[in-house]
């Protein structure tokens, strides 16, 4: 039923112009942008958790000198080139401070030995600490990787050279094929576990390259200096960003504890959304979610939740195949993060930066230590702490076991003082209800074709997709979330209130003026013939040999002839004169 | 609240001993087995669709001579070695009949040319029709594949030699590495699309081998003869199997249109299940699911739904990591199946079996035909028809376009008579609500570690997992579904009514007497060092060369010395006498 001014009137249904699902950075940015550009629009934000902030989470911990301070168990760092989040922080007047990274960094990879390393001068530090082969291999691998990252076409992924080949490879397999030392493979494994929260075997090599390209380079993903992702931290934690964004929403515009269950796009006039009350699930001990159910109707829907959460909804009618394939084939990684606070920053006193990367392997077969990587996490107020990422295998252990093992592991690198902690808190993101992992969706081999359509709104274009996964600049980071929120908001404005659209925010969307529809992997027979290695090699070697032979034989250029004739003769002689005794 | 006889009494909650979710073959077999073994148990089955049968679906189509007959749009075939489904069919007195496969089969692979082939004598028919290289490659590939399939340890997947390596490879990459002709790669691509409904790039090679091993051999998966999966069809269709199984359930024991939304295992006394009414979603045009909601409580829960559907539920508390990783990382394939009925079986008259396999590529670059594979689908009553599987790319087209293109494609193989059809019906399984694809979950590279725990009940072991994916014998087929239903039922009996358990049905479950807890992939440093190809090769070649040299030099065995000395001399001579002109 439509009222004269275009609103829907239906009993028991809350209607609005734009419904945003997910009150993380992406969803709240979208809502804020919509309200500031077009104040007349009625915007409602739904959130299944009992808090805003999505994959950011700031907690209070006991700190040095009996004080308390705030640390991040979710998104934490911002980088120099992450322009979207930096602009937002400026707008909200939230300060940042430098990640401490002076002093020795420790690496346990390639063997069980612990050795210093320097991310700024990988090759040099490897040359000092490891063998020549390992250092050369590391230099070659990183150089090749950056070269490949540079070839990626972010807007049209299958326009990247060898995209089809790279998509059928796991990172592990690609690395196995193109490296010759365990050291390099271990370093890449540890880097992947720290960046994505999953092992290399589960990641498409094409996605790995795409992700690095969106960040500028692979170095940016692992670096704490220059344009590195870990250059700055946010004073007071990152959850406050969402909390401050949420202040623009009135109490009837933000619904917490409201999970979307059904998305019904069968009505050409608007999207119909069913929700369930999740307050009992969000309260730790609650077991009986109430029967209450609110329904919403909107002219445009923005889904600002991870792809796998989109797949958990009931879609009426069924999803197009490429969306279903994406939502069911893009599981989130799982960063298992913990903060340990200390009385003194003892590692700094020893000349260590606090940065550690470790495979977790010891000389005892079968025993794996929990630590993947660690950084200095001392706050802006100078309260010393370390932040560590854990191997996911440790999720099944008890808190006590985990903590003991982690402290023992830290002590391997930083000394026995690591055991004298003040407070400890860890967060296993896969257990967060309605979150489904952190930091980002990780595409397994073979599914990048579906991923290339990730930003495409759904026919008949009333559902728009936001969330850090959909960004073209620093996806998987807070900056990507903000970019995707702005894009989704301007996509919606494009339909509802054309005059307000700023086209630069539509970058990467199908409404961008320079948009190209993503190409599919080329399978046609006109493509360059794929040869498997062995016939190609035999053919190549034979052709070279034949060429040299003919060259020396027919054209008798003096030096070539002189070079090969004795060999030729001796082969003939050997062949004819050779008899078994 | 617990009543004196152990039942729960709670207002608005239906309680039972065993709750089975999913009224497909697995769920209904489990319910039937429980009721027949232990008639006192209260068993309730919930089904989100408005029909029983899961991934079986039988429809009426117009047939020759103005009659109608029934065809299957879902599971269709049974094989000689599929003992579980064959026994069930005997019990239910449902007949089977032979799949017609006499005459010429057509293959379009390796190029755009259409050529006859013979699945019984692959190599021979390839030798006749293709080049020697292609025939040798096919023979070598199939032989190697079967050899690898034989090494798989079904009960303990990571006990298989090279399991870790094979899991990090997509089938496409493995095939690229070990074949030398396009023909073989095309044949495996078409076979994979027909068996799993997805392309080879999305499938873990270890899962591919495991799946074949569970079926006996790879040949069994593609064959219509001997122990092949496509040997027999079921008279009257396969949906009736579930319908007959469901007759053992009273009207208050089977709830259709009831989707599970929340599974709450936080109460140590029983599992609490929330449901939503889905009747409006299941009726084609309905848009407003009712607010009604029933809650169930049970002592044991059996989930007889695909892994990805398990992941769509809201779990309280959160899932263990390996279950979450499995449920979010095992998307279902999508067989896009259609039936075309004809007045006459014109292909038989021409001496063709009706069996076709095709890459869909034509000489026109970019144009892909819809057909993947086709078989004779003439019913037991002799009503002629063809069954065809379509490339998933065609899902976005209109029914009209699809049908026209498919008929044109069939005409390429069988002649122009293919256009004179009587009735046409296709089913795109990914659009089925609460189904999420067909025939089976397809593990992408890297996730087999989570898969190896698929049958493990959940702590504190009140949730059991059934469904064809969990079978150890013919998973992905009806027989696997029946096996998994029997196993789950006996797992539950093991806890509730120990005397009724038949241990042979516990095969593969953790209650089986010969159960081994699955091993994890071995990552320790004590493992055989992994060498990348090039240093290994250089080392090998150098060692061989050095060996030969030393052998000839030091021990001067006459013939070796005689053989190598002239070469050695001429090389030295050439080297010393060589000057640029």
Residue A435's pLDDT is 75
List residues forming the annotated binding site of A for FAD: 47-48, 260, 469
Interchain proximity A431–B293, CB inside 8 Å = no
- Using CA atoms, how far apart are residues B371 and B392, in angstroms rounded to an integer? 10
CA-based diameter of chain B, in Å?
108
Nearest CA to CA, how far is A365 from chain B (Å)?
6
Interchain proximity A562–B573, CB inside 8 Å = no
Residue A294's pLDDT is 81
* Tally of CB atoms within 10 A around B274: 22
**Collapsed DSSP state (helix, strand, coil) of residue A186:** helix
- Using CA atoms, how far apart are residues B201 and A447, in angstroms rounded to an integer? 8
Does residue A216 form part of some domain? yes
Find residue A272's DSSP bridge partners: A264, A297
Least confident window among A204-213, A240-249, A445-454, B544-553? B544-553
B281, closest residue in chain A (CA to CA): A316
Interchain proximity B523–A361, CB inside 8 Å = yes
State the CATH number of the domain containing residue B292: 3.50.50.60
Does residue A6 form part of some domain? no
Q: Which of B173, B182, B176 is nearest to B201 (CA)?
A: B173
- Using CA atoms, how far apart are residues A523 and B62, in angstroms rounded to an integer? 37
Cβ(A77)–Cβ(A194) below 8 Å: no
Mutate one of B335, B566, B573 to test the A interface: name it (highest A CB count within 10 A).
B566
- Using CA atoms, how far apart are residues A508 and A487, in angstroms rounded to an integer? 8
Report helix, strand and coil shares of chain B as percent, to nearest 5.
40, 20, 40
Q: Give the model's confidence band at A500: pLDDT under 50 very low, under 70 low, under 90 confident, else very high.
A: confident
Same domain, B248 and B324: yes
* Domain encompassing residue B421: 334-431
**Collapsed DSSP state (helix, strand, coil) of residue B393:** helix
Residue B255's pLDDT is 94
Rounded alpha-carbon distances, angstroms, from residue B382 to A27, B68, B70, B230, B376? 59, 12, 12, 18, 11
Q: Give the model's confidence band at A396: pLDDT under 50 very low, under 70 low, under 90 confident, else very high.
A: confident
Does residue B112 form part of some domain? no
Same domain, A292 and A367: no
Same domain, A351 and A490: no
Mean of the per-residue pLDDT values for chain A? 87
Same domain, A176 and A308: no
Residue B206's pLDDT is 97
**Average pLDDT of the residues in A501-507:** 90
Residue A364's pLDDT is 73
Nearest CA to CA, how far is B556 from chain A (Å)?
13
From B486, B505, B524, give the residue that closes a domain.
B505
Does residue A375 form part of some domain? yes
**Collapsed DSSP state (helix, strand, coil) of residue A294:** coil
Same domain, B541 and B408: no
Residue A289's pLDDT is 46
Q: What count of Cα atoms within 13 Å lies in the side-chain half-sphere of residue A175?
A: 29
Q: Which of B270, B263, B266 is nearest to B298 (CA)?
A: B270
A445 contacts in chain B (CB < 8 Å): 170, 173, 201-202, 444-446
Interchain proximity A366–B430, CB inside 8 Å = no
- Using CA atoms, how far apart are residues B554 and B563, in angstroms rounded to an integer? 14
The DSSP secondary-structure symbol of B159 reads G
Q: Which of B111, B164, B250 is nearest to A176 (CA)?
A: B164
- Using CA atoms, how far apart are residues B508 and B504, in angstroms rounded to an integer? 10
CA-based diameter of chain A, in Å?
108
**Average pLDDT of the residues in A442-451:** 95
Interchain proximity A281–B293, CB inside 8 Å = no
Residue A207's pLDDT is 97
Residue B535's pLDDT is 64
From B401, B431, B461, give the residue that closes a domain.
B431
**Is B189 marked as binding a ligand?**
no
Rounded alpha-carbon distances, angstroms, from residue A125 to B78, B137, B351? 62, 47, 72
B437 contacts in chain A (CB < 8 Å): 328
Residue B291's pLDDT is 46
Does residue B69 form part of some domain? no
pLDDT at A287 over 50: no
- Using CA atoms, how far apart are residues A167 and A448, in angstroms rounded to an integer? 7
> Which residues, other chains included, contact A507 with Cβ-Cβ below 8 Å and sequence gap of 6+?
A472, A483, A487
From B431, B459, B482, give the residue that closes a domain.
B431
Does residue B312 form part of some domain? yes
Same domain, A294 and A323: yes
B180 contacts in chain A (CB < 8 Å): 531-532, 534-535
The DSSP secondary-structure symbol of A524 reads -
B567 contacts in chain A (CB < 8 Å): 567, 570-571, 574
What token pair was written down for B434? 């609460």
Interchain proximity B395–A321, CB inside 8 Å = yes
Number of H helices, E strands in chain A: 19, 20
Same domain, A349 and A422: yes
Same domain, B482 and B397: no
pTM of the model: 0.89
Cβ(B61)–Cβ(B337) below 8 Å: no
- Burial of A77 from C-beta contacts in 10 A (0-12 / 13-18 / 19+): buried
State the CATH number of the domain containing residue A185: 1.10.405.10
Q: Give the model's confidence band at A211: pLDDT under 50 very low, under 70 low, under 90 confident, else very high.
A: very high
Q: Give the model's confidence band at A83: pLDDT under 50 very low, under 70 low, under 90 confident, else very high.
A: very high
What token pair was written down for B7? 């039942």
pLDDT tens by residue, A16-57: 999 999 999 999 999 999 999 999 999 999 999 999 999 999
Q: What ipTM was reported for this prediction? A: 0.88
State the CATH number of the domain containing residue B415: 3.90.660.10
Same domain, B353 and B275: no
Does residue B565 form part of some domain? yes
The DSSP secondary-structure symbol of A418 reads G
Residue B186's pLDDT is 92
**Average pLDDT of the residues in A383-402:** 92
- Using CA atoms, how far apart are residues A457 and A442, in angstroms rounded to an integer? 21
Interchain proximity B446–A276, CB inside 8 Å = no
Interchain proximity A168–B167, CB inside 8 Å = no
**Is B389 marked as binding a ligand?**
yes
Same domain, B445 and B325: yes
CB pairs under 8 A between A and B: 242
Residue B553's pLDDT is 57
- Burial of B251 from C-beta contacts in 10 A (0-12 / 13-18 / 19+): exposed
Residue B431's pLDDT is 87
Grouped pLDDT means (10 residues each) for chain B, 581 residues: 46 88 96 95 94 94 93 94 96 95 91 84 81 87 94 94 93 90 91 94 96 95 89 95 95 92 88 85 53 80 95 88 93 92 95 93 79 95 95 89 94 94 93 83 95 89 93 96 97 90 90 87 56 63 73 55 64 60 36
Find residue A8's DSSP bridge partners: A2
Query: Which is more confident, B6 or A482?
Result: A482
Same domain, B323 and B453: yes
Write out the E strands in A283-431: 295-303, 314-316, 336-342, 352-358, 371-376, 385-390, 421-428
What are the backbone angles phi and psi of residue B484, rounded to the nearest 5°?
Answer: -70, -35
Residue B561's pLDDT is 54
- Using CA atoms, how far apart are residues B26 and B33, in angstroms rounded to an integer? 11
Same domain, B246 and B303: yes
- Looking at the structure of chain B, the number of domains it has is 4
Nearest CA to CA, how far is B392 from chain A (Å)?
8
Rg (CA), chain B: 28
Interchain proximity A177–B532, CB inside 8 Å = yes
Does residue B117 form part of some domain? no
Residue A285's pLDDT is 45
pLDDT at A568 over 90: no
What token pair was written down for B62? 């117009």
**Average pLDDT of the residues in A414-439:** 90
Query: Which is more confident, A541 or A190?
Result: A190
**Collapsed DSSP state (helix, strand, coil) of residue A302:** strand
């Amino acid at each position: 039923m439509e009222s004269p001014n275009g609103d829907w009137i239906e009993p028991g249904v809350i209607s609005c112009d734009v419904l945003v699902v997910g009150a993380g950075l992406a969803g709240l940015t979208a809502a804020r942008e919509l309200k500031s550009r077009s104040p007349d629009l009625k915007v409602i934000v739904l959130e299944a958790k009992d808090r805003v902030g999505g994959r950011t989470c700031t907690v209070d911990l006991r700190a040095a000198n009996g004080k308390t301070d705030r640390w991040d168990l979710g998104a934490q760092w911002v980088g120099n080139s992450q322009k979207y989040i930096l602009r937002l922080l400026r707008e909200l007047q939230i300060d940042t401070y430098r990640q401490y990274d002076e002093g020795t960094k420790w690496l346990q990879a390639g063997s069980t030995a612990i050795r210093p390393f320097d991310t700024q001068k990988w090759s040099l530090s490897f040359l000092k600490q490891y063998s020549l082969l390992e250092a050369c291999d590391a230099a070659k691998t990183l150089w090749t990787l950056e070269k490949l990252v540079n070839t990626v076409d972010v807007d049209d992924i299958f326009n990247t050279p060898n995209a089809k080949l790279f998509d059928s490879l796991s990172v592990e397999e690609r690395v196995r094929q193109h490296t010759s030392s365990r050291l390099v493979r271990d370093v890449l494994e540890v880097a992947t576990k720290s960046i994505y929260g999953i092992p290399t075997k589960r990641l498409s090599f094409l996605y790995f390259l795409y992700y690095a390209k969106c960040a500028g380079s692979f170095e940016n993903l692992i670096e704490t200096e220059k344009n590195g992702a870990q250059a700055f931290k946010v004073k007071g934690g990152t959850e406050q960003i969402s909390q401050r964004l949420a202040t623009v929403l009135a109490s009837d515009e933000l619904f917490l504890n409201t999970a979307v269950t059904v998305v019904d796009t069968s009505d050409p006039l608007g999207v119909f959304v069913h929700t369930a009350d999740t307050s009992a699930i969000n309260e730790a001990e609650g077991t009986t979610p109430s029967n209450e159910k609110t329904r919403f109707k909107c002219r445009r829907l923005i889904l600002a939740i991870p792809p796998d959460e989109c797949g958990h909804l009931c879609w009426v009618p069924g999803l197009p195949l490429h969306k279903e394939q994406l939502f069911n084939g893009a599981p989130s990684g799982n960063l298992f993060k913990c903060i340990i606070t200390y009385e003194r920053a003892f590692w700094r006193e020893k000349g260590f930066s606090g940065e550690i990367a470790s495979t977790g392997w010891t000389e005892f077969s079968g025993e794996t230590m929990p630590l993947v990587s660690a950084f200095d996490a001392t706050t802006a107020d100078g309260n010393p702490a370390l932040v560590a990422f854990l191997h996911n295998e440790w999720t099944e252990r008890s808190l006590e076991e985990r903590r003991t093992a982690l402290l023992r592991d830290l002590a391997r690198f930083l000394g026995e003082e690591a055991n004298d902690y003040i407070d400890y808190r860890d967060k296993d993101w896969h257990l967060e209800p309605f979150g489904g992992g952190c930091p980002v969706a990780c595409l397994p081999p073979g599914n990048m074709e579906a991923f290339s359509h990730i930003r495409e709104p759904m026919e008949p274009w009333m559902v728009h997709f936001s969330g850090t996964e959909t960004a073209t600049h620093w996806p998987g980071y807070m900056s990507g979330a903000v970019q995707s929120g702005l894009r989704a908001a301007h996509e919606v404005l494009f339909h509802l209130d054309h005059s307000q659209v700023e086209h630069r925010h539509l970058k990467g969307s199908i409404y961008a003026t320079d948009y190209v529809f993503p190409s599919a992997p080329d399978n046609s027979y006109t493509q360059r013939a794929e040869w498997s290695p062995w016939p190609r090699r035999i053919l190549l070697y034979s052709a070279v040999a034949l060429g040299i032979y003919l060259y020396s034989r027919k054209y008798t250029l003096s030096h070539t002839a002189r070079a090969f004739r004795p060999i030729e003769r001796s082969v003939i002689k050997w062949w004819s004169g050779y008899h078994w005794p």
